[in-house]
Amino acid sequence: MNLQLITLSSPVSIPQPVLWRDRAKSSWMNSEMGTEGARAAEKARRYTEARRDPFSPTTQIHGLCSRSQSKEVLGRVLPAERRAFTLIELLVVIAIIAILMAVLMPSLQRARKQAQAAACKSNLHQWGSSAMMYATEHDDKVWTIPRGQGEWMEVLRKYYLDVDKIRLCPAATRPCQDTDGTEARGSVDTMWGRPDEQTEWGGRQRGYWGSYGHNRWVEQRFNPGDDRFWERFFVKGAQNVPVFADSAFAHALPRQADVIPPKPLVLFSDIPVDAGGRQIWRFCIDRHNGTINTCFLDGSVRKVRLHNLWNLKWHREWIRQNYTKADIPWSK
């Protein structure tokens, strides 16, 4: 018997007998799988949407974002419920700012005063250089200021043409407050004199102003028999002979008998008119933290404590008073 093999191009499914019990189970499984499949499809759709826009309201509602993202979503969905600062938080911030200001302000103020003192010293250095140039051209002789011909700033204008730039200490640039008809006095933080107005009686100083003063013992003598004047620049002990300094007036003639002020000289009215018997008071002003800047006959500049004003060599016959800080209790 010859058998012929038949080759099929595709597999043939052979139906198997299905019991009623298996058919019921298959129907139930298909129903359950359909529900789960729908859920899975919906979840996949939401996940895809969340990846496209993780902050969409739908994503937030279905809990597919992180907690921090949820807050931002709520902020977008419900802007009226956006959280603001409470009163206590604002008060805390204000208190912190106030504390920082209280800590920083003294340092800033101190730095500002130090900068002013440095600029003041620079001005006095330039006045000292101008005086040295005058000495070179006048055979080492100190100037003479005839009555009615201005003051020392005018004498030195030739050697520093732009005098107005160095007239004032940066700590004393406020306008003069003195309205007295005798002289326009300055103070700790105000200039003496006014531009284009009378500065002192006699018409000698019209339009003269500044916040530095000149030791008038450094000048050609007024009286032929008075030997107290420094009439030359290059003398022994020149480093202790004041020429220019912070001052409440244009000039002064300090004397050993000048008493120590009983209180700080803050206002122009604290200094007597014409300095009656208290000429050194014009220099005894607390302009730089208990000191004034002073230019000496050798051209050097340094700060001088107020009690040391009585220990300098203002004129040739000056006797050092040996005052200490304890003698001026109000000084810093």
DSSP string for 265-295: --SGGGS-GGGTT-GGGGT----SSSEEEEE
The pLDDT of residue 74: 47
Residue 268 has a pLDDT of 92
Burial class (CB in 10 A: 0-12, 13-18, 19+), 290: middle
* Residue 189 three-state SS: coil
pLDDT at res. 31: 56
Q: Which residues pair with 215 in a beta bridge?
A: 252
For the segment 44-102, what is each residue's pLDDT rounded down to a tens digit?
777 666 656 555 555 554 454 555 555 554 455 444 455 677 888 888 899 999 888 88
Q: pLDDT tens digits, residue range 132-150? A: 999 999 999 998 876 555 6
From residue 119, give the alpha-carbon distance in Å to each of 163, 187, 208, 300, 326.
15, 19, 21, 15, 29
Q: Name, of 4-13, 27-36, 253-262, the range with top average pLDDT.
A: 253-262
pLDDT tens digits, one per residue of 264-287? 999 999 998 888 789 999 999 999
Q: How far apart are CA 110 and CA 88, in angstroms?
A: 34
Pairing of β 242-246 and β 291-296: antiparallel
| Nearest of 74, 33, 52, 73 to residue 44 by alpha carbon | 52
Q: Is the pLDDT of residue 13 over 90?
A: no
Output the six-digit token pair for 123: 């001005």
The 3-state DSSP composition of the chain as helix, strand, coil percent (nearest 5) reads 40, 10, 50
pLDDT per residue over 34-56, tens digit each? 566 667 767 777 766 665 655 55
d(CA 45, CA 232): 103
What pLDDT sits at residue 211? 94
* CA–CA distance, 223 with 152 (Å, rounded to integer): 19
Q: What is the pLDDT of residues 157-191, one digit of tens each?
A: 888 777 788 999 999 999 999 887 678 899 999 99
Label the pairing between strands 212-215 and 251-252: parallel
